[in-house]
Amino acid sequence: MSGLVVIGASYAGIQSALSAREAGYADNITVVCDETWLPYQRPPLSKGFLLGTTGEDNLVLRDEAFFKNERIDLVLGHRAVGIDPRARQIEVDNDATLTFDKLVIATGSRARRISAPGAELDGVCYLRSVADAIDLKARLAQAAEVVIVGGGFIGLEVASSAAKSGKKVTVVESMTRLLERAVCPLVSEFLHATHRQSGVEVLMGETVIAIDGASGRVAGVTLASGTRLPADLVLVGVGGIANDDLACAAGITCTNGIVVDEHGRTGHQDIYAAGDCANHYSRFANGWVRLESVQNAQDQAKAAGLAIAGSHGPYDAVPRFWSDQYSVKLQIVGLSAGHDRTAVRGSADDGRFTVFFYRNGKLIAADSINRPGDQMAARRLIAAGLSPTPEQAEDPSFDLKSLVKAIETINV
């Protein structure tokens, strides 16, 4: 039995299968995934799921009946362990062999581990899967003192959820500000202040050199400065690594992820990759990027699914990301690396502002705190290559939507 085989049943894997089907791919579609759960949403795992506002049932992306209806076979709880591009075969850990005409590798990313002494102690946790989240939630309920290693998105979201649940929380970040690689200083400062106001202690420029234990369980962390923090739970959120090993071993070109074109196609004509595991050239980055976001996974996989079905729909969406911490909604559109100017609309004091980023006079990105309207406008402007002047962006009386309307007029 051949057809389309997809490895990984998350956003990218499921979207590629659905887009291929919707575009008329009539052959068999098999999705194999090492997780036993029906495809589910990851973003709530660090947010509503930990807080108890999103239940396990609400995480599911699509139910079994949906996949049956779409004639998509799910092989859950089994890992693909080898790809033979020449024979067009996938080896699965249950000794089965799947044959493919087309293959999508949507293996995502995994949490980067820390190597400090004591890192293997009971109570040192990572958050990537629903199994991790169930475990973390149970441990959080019992914990009093929580240390979060890493002031990135996952670390800060878990800090927010833990602080809201009344835990004593300390975030340890080695850089000079929170989310240093992702957002501008104003947004970092705003989030830092928000965490501080919520009772979270944030230690900047500090690294963990050891995780201390007692009777095999975590008891604290020791920092390079000599500070020792007591902890009965340590959550490590220090970034993700592309799951590209399978592709690399099969001779597919990988450089920080599986290298793909705008259709998600690898160097092999019939092998595609999408999502966290893929590295693509983006005009919005002015270079090659591997993005870890729901938007990227879905839009890139859509392009792959269309190409598999013989349709044309290259991936060219403006990158987007969001994060929820306390009552703060951070939204990011575009990629701000390489900007040479910023303009701020709104005010951090009011808890509602957007930072617009420019490169050579062109709008390339916007970070918003609680200003979804600015995000909508910025997304459309960046996609169309249109820019308000920095003065217009800063002027609250200037209607950004008027520029958006101008695009609509041009497109009519």
Ligand X SMILES: Cc1cc2nc3c(=O)[nH]c(=O)nc-3n(C[C@H](O)[C@H](O)[C@H](O)COP(=O)(O)OP(=O)(O)OC[C@H]3O[C@@H](n4cnc5c(N)ncnc54)[C@H](O)[C@@H]3O)c2cc1C
DSSP symbol at 190: H
- What's the CA gap between 72 and 65, in Å, rounded? 10
User: Does 398 participate in binding ligand X (rule CB under 6 A)?
Assistant: no
CB of 54 to ligand X, least distance (A): 12
User: Closer to ligand X at the Cβ: 58 or 227?
Assistant: 58
Among 20, 34, 136, 202, binds ligand X (CB under 6 A): 34
Stretch that binds ligand X, among 106-114, 280-288, 366-374, 382-390 (CB under 6 A): 106-114
Query: Residue 88, Cβ neighbours under 10 Å: how many?
Result: 18
User: Does 12 participate in binding ligand X (rule CB under 6 A)?
Assistant: yes
> Can you give 300-343 as a three-state secondary structure string?
HHHHHHHHHCCCCCCCCCCCEEEEEECCEEEEEEECCCCCCEEE
Give the angle 409-353-195 at the CA atoms, nearest 5°: 145
> Are the beta carbons of 6 and 104 closer than 8 angstroms?
yes
User: Does 257 participate in binding ligand X (rule CB under 6 A)?
Assistant: no
What lies within 8 Å, CB to CB, of 363 at 6+ separation is 334, 356, 357, 378, 381, 382, 386, 387, 388, 393
Stretch that binds ligand X, among 32-40, 53-61, 62-70, 374-382 (CB under 6 A): 32-40
Among 19, 30, 107, 282, binds ligand X (CB under 6 A): 107
Among residue numbers 310 through 329, which ones bind ligand X (CB under 6 A)? 321-323
User: Does 75 participate in binding ligand X (rule CB under 6 A)?
Assistant: no
Burial of 70 (0-12, 13-18, 19+ CB in 10 A): middle
- What's the CA gap between 95 and 109, in Å, rounded? 24
User: Does 46 participate in binding ligand X (rule CB under 6 A)?
Assistant: yes
CB of 106 to ligand X, least distance (A): 5
What lies within 8 Å, CB to CB, of 396 at 6+ separation is 345, 346
User: Closer to ligand X at the Cβ: 219 or 308?
Assistant: 308
User: Closer to ligand X at the Cβ: 30 or 387?
Assistant: 30
Among 5, 17, 20, 33, binds ligand X (CB under 6 A): 33
CB of 391 to ligand X, least distance (A): 31
Among 4, 5, 18, 43, binds ligand X (CB under 6 A): 43
Among 187, 246, 273, 400, binds ligand X (CB under 6 A): 246
